[in-house]
Amino acid sequence: MNTTALWLVVVIAGACIELIGRLRPNSVASLRRGLSMSAEHTSGRILLIVFWLFVGVHLFARYTLPHH
Amino acid sequence: MALAGAVSSRTRAAVFVVLAGYSWVMTGVHPFTTTSYVMVAVPSLAFVIAYVSLGGLSRRRDDVDAHYRRHAESATLRSVTPWITLLIAAVLLEVIGLLLGGRSTSVPTLSTAVDHLLEQHWERFLICLMWLLAGAVPVLGLLPLRARPER
């Protein structure tokens, strides 16, 4: 199996949820609404910031290129 | 966390251009070097300091809570269940990938999978620009609240 296939499924599922969220906002929340909901309290905002910082360091300061 | 209406489109365009330029320079630096850590640290600190100074992490700012409640548009736990399910699936996949050694070809970790998207400079540039925008948008969103005093 292609190494990125499983994660591609996750991304496609996310895109589908986002699409349904825009078409049926009463039953499914879009990503923007979901993130806003999790940011309603300070603890949620701290978690989001920590996650954002982790992604930045992990992806742009500590990445390894395949075949290198 | 949409851009607030009080922030002009000219400001948003200027922020986008600056971040795009920074992203291009930042993703041209080799990883695991001091420069790469500094290049990540500069926007990280800038956005976090700006966010904190705007009251983003203050427990005494009800208007900040209300700002996000307004943008959540009455989202409920039930309506975000698909996202929570997807998050749990992603975490499980990551844990399985890590248990298999971290570089398994059958179940790779997210970072192993993403590394394939970071090979070309323009790919790194686009992903980095998305990351920078994800940091800038909450700051721009809180700008209209900056004049309000803490209760």
- A58 vs chain B: nearest CA distance in angstroms? 8
Supply the pLDDT for residue B109: 83
Q: For residue A11, what is the nearest residue in chain B, using CA coordinates?
A: B86
- Rg of chain A, C-alpha, whole Å: 16
Q: What is the predicted pLDDT for the residue at A58?
A: 84
Arithmetic mean of pLDDT over chain B: 87
pLDDT tens string A14-26: 999 999 999 999 9
pLDDT at A3: 54
> Would the CB atoms of B118 and A41 count as touching at under 8 Å?
no
Instruction: Please report the pLDDT score of residue B23 as a whole number.
Output: 96
Cα gap A35→A45, rounded to integer Å: 9
What does the alpha-carbon distance between residue B111 and residue A55 come to, in Å, rounded to a whole number? 10
Please report the pLDDT score of residue A16 as a whole number. 97
Report domain extents, chain A: 2-63
Single-letter amino acid, residue B106? S
Q: Are B142 and B127 in contact (CB under 8 A)?
A: no
Element (H, E) at A8: helix A5-23
Tell me, letter by letter, the H, E, C secondary structure of B27-94: CCCCCCCHHHHHHHHHHHHHHHHHHHHCCCCCCCCHHHHHHHHHHHCCCCCCCCHHHHHHHHHHHHHH
Helix (H) or strand (E) holding B142: helix B121-142
Distance CA A27, CA A21 (A): 7
Residues in A touching B27 (Cβ below 8 Å) = 60
Per-residue pLDDT at A32 exceeds 90: yes
Angle B95-B99-B100 from CA coordinates, rounded to 5°: 120
Distance from CA of A59 to the nearest CA of B (A): 8
Domain boundaries, chain B: 9-75+120-146
AA letter at B148: R
Q: ipTM > 0.95?
A: no
**Contact between residue A52 and residue B40 where contact means Cβ atoms under 8 Å apart:** no
- Comparing A47-51, B22-26, B69-73, B132-136, the range with the smallest average pLDDT is B69-73
Average pLDDT over residues B23-46: 93
Amino acid identity at A21: G
User: Cβ(A46)–Cβ(B82) under 8 Å?
Assistant: no
Q: Would you call B111 and A63 a contact, using CB atoms and an 8 Å cutoff?
A: yes
CA distance A55 to A61: 10
